[in-house]
Amino acid sequence: MSETRYIFVTGGVTSSLGKGILAASLAKLLQSRGYKVTIQKLDPYINVDPGTLNPYEHGECYVTEDGAETDLDLGHYERFLNETTSQANNVTTGRIYQSVINKERKGDYLGKTVQIIPHITDEIKRRIKILGSKGKYDIVITEIGGTVGDIESLPYIESVRQLKWELGSKVLVIHLTLVPYLAATGELKTKPTQHSVKQLLEAGVQPDILVLRTEYDIDLNIRKKVALFCNVALEAVVQSINVSTIYDVPLKMLEEKLDLTVLKKLALPIKEKINLSAWNSFLTRLKSPTQTVEIGLVGKYVELHDAYKSIVEALIHAGAENRCNVNINWIHSESVKNDNYTKILSNLNGIIVAPGFGHRGMSGKILAAKYARESNTPYFGICLGMQVAVIEFARNVLKLEEADSTEMTPKTPYPVIDLMEQQKGITNYGGTMRLGAYECRIVENDSNVFRAYNKLTIHERHRHRYEFNDTFIEKFIAGGMVPVGINPETDLVEIVEIPKHKWFVGIQFHPEYRSTVLNPHPLFVDFIKNSIVEEEK
Ligand code: GLN
């Protein structure tokens, strides 16, 4: 075993306290002190991956370079650390059981009764150690999904208990809890934290550090009380107060000296003075916008903003880069109709039609693309949003009435978007889309995408089954919508543009997954830049 250290982040009291942001913030601080850090998420549900989950249930499905469909927290890890993650960074209970059952079927357990302890916990521990054993990381932070006390989390907590025993001081447990404020008495209450720590103790795990989510400052007396009742050192009681942007959390954790406490407890030296200058200059730009731009985000999951997490964050990065506040207008595609679309869309400086699946809300998305095209409003069609732009152009410009994607109308007379050859015959829905990073060549030098990227070869991540049907290519080019990005191996059309339009870009891939604080995505930056100019006119 190498000297890799393992930090576990568990959560208590309620869900949604922000374990992912805490893990990412701590990782950022340790990275800024010269350590190589990665983060992993263990999800206690039975799905093998979140690819088959409805976004309403679990928010966006985040896709990694290697094509893994993962939890949206991995997006935070990449955006904070500016480093890519992979399949190994997200493991679900379904995946753990799948490996154990496959081994059992192969006879690998030599006739033994296969049990949660040790077989499931061994598989969990193996998955945790995979990242450490690569020798690439000094520290692996593992976030355990769910809340302590849930039946589903028990095997994970048990694995942490075993690892603490096996690896001793190389393991550290951080428990994130809530300290609610009772308005009636004006008090912050620590009892839920005490109970949740007791639950961890019942499972044999003593947390080393407690991070308390709170709306108000937690004073020394309360910290002392929590330290006393929960057997942790006073310096190991850390508050995480509400902030206006998640990108402030690393700075708040720095104020609380969380990074120093962690290094001390793991017996690691303070190698470098912390360097957060690039991060801080991003925050300065983010907090001092000189103008506002109104962007319409048209999709069918808009009630749950987490369904478009990476797009929202990419817009925040692009806004900061342009010193501009991006005001997202959430537009439900089903609410956009023939008799209201100009009214709904006319105050917008730019329109995004979001990725998606299935025909619900399609007519509203098509109207949004039509409005953007006709009014010269910047249009950014992402994945399904590109397909929508192609369908709209076919119907209204090329006069191919009833043109559609075969996903929506299998028997359309003009299948301008069709199933990819390699997708035909696939009946198993899990993990079988075109997934992960592929090369794309930009073919037109004077296109908006070329100006944005300023290079001819790019790599972007995909998640789709359908594609632009190239039997229609000549008609589109003649009509004024041109393919400007092509996959060099398969010739698939990855990007279309309308050269006559100010900024009309449809892309088959998902650029939002690659936007980070330190590297805002060039397409988002350029889209916002062009939307601003529109406003100034
Ligand atoms: N439903 C479309 C496809 O499968 C688009 C997918 C997406 O937007 N991610 O091709």
Write out pLDDT tens, residues 470-504.
999 999 999 999 999 999 999 999 999 999 999 99
- What is the structure's pLDDT at 194? 97
The residue whose CB lies within 8 Å of the most ligand 1 atoms, and thus the one to mutate among 61, 359, 466, 494, is 466
Catalytic site positions:
383, 510, 512
Would the CB of 465 count as within 6 Å of ligand 1? yes
Residue 132 CA to ligand 1 center (angstroms) comes to 35
Q: Which of 378-387, 397-406, 439-448 has the lowest mean pLDDT?
A: 439-448
Mean pLDDT throughout 440-469? Answer: 93
Q: Which two tokens stand for residue 86?
A: 């992979």
Q: Is 384 in the pocket of ligand 1 (CB under 6 A)?
A: yes
Ligand 1 centroid distance, CA of 354 (Å)? 10
pTM, 2 dp: 0.94
Range 413-426 average pLDDT: 84
Give 162-203 pLDDT, tens digit per residue: 999 999 999 999 999 999 999 999 999 999 999 999 999 999
HSE (side-chain half, CA atoms, 13 Å) at 9: 29
The pLDDT assigned to 191 comes to 96
Residue (of 128, 130, 96) closest to 114 by Cα position: 96
The whole-number average pLDDT for the span 90-101 is 96
- Percentage of the chain beyond pLDDT 70 is 99
Given a cut of 70, whether residue 534 has pLDDT beyond it is: no
pLDDT, position 2: 46
Q: Where residue 535 falls among pLDDT bands split at 50, 70, 90?
A: very low
Neighbours of 272 (CB within 10 A): 10
CA of 498 to the centre of ligand 1 (A): 21
Ligand 1: centre distance to CA 355 (Å):
6
Dihedral of the alpha carbons of 296, 298, 304, 309, in degrees to the nearest 10: -70
Of the ranges 45-54, 183-192, 513-522, which one carries the lowest mean pLDDT score? 45-54
Ligand 1 proximity of 464 Cβ (cutoff 6 Å): yes
Average pLDDT, the chain: 94
Q: Nearest to residue 77, comparing CAs of 57, 62, 55?
A: 62
C-alpha to C-alpha distance for 214 and 222, rounded to whole angstroms = 12
Q: What span, in angstroms and rounded, lies between the C-alpha atoms of 40 and 255?
A: 25
pLDDT for position 524 = 98
Q: 265-290: per-residue pLDDT in tens?
A: 999 999 878 999 999 999 999 999 99
Q: Is residue 407 within 6 Å of ligand 1 at its C-beta?
A: yes
